[in-house]
């Protein structure tokens, strides 16, 4: 009986994990526009900026492949903003 409970639990965990993976992020660099002032200066990021960085985090490596975006994303200030927002900066 205990094995049945464990397998039901395992199934629920797998279903929840699959649901989370299937929620795709739409990579839209303009979503990070609320972070421009924090990235280009030493001002702290806004709450909206932190929310958008967390949402767009899966897209950051893609953005760094773009020459125009890379000069804003791959900077010490951008890394500071990500850290301040509690979002690990990806290694691509």
Residue 33 falls within a domain, yes or no? Answer: yes
pLDDT score recorded for residue 16: 39
Q: Is residue 16 part of a domain?
A: no
Q: Is residue 20 in some structural domain?
A: no
Q: What pLDDT is attached to residue 48?
A: 97
For position 42, which CATH number holds? Answer: 1.10.110.10
CA distance 49 to 35: 5
Checking if the pLDDT of 29 tops 90, the result is yes
| 15 inside domain | no
Token pair of 89 as six digits: 């900066």
Question: Tokens 């690990």 map to which residue?
Answer: 88
82 neighbors 89 (Cβ within 8 angstroms) = yes
Mean pLDDT of the chain: 79
**pLDDT the model gives residue 23:** 56
Which has the higher per-residue pLDDT, 3 or 51?
51
- Report the domain count for the chain: 1
Lowest mean pLDDT among 5-9, 20-24, 79-83: 5-9
Domain of 43 in residue numbering reads as 26-84
């Amino acid at each position: 009986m205990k094995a049945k409970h464990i397998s039901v639990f395992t199934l629920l965990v797998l279903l929840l994990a699959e649901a989370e993976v299937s929620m795709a992020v739409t990579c839209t660099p303009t979503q990070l526009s609320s972070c421009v002032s924090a990235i280009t200066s030493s001002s702290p990021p806004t709450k909206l900026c932190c929310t958008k960085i967390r949402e767009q985090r899966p897209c950051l490596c893609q953005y760094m492949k773009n020459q125009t975006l890379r000069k804003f994303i791959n900077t010490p200030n951008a890394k500071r903003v990500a850290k301040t927002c509690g979002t690990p900066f990806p290694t691509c």
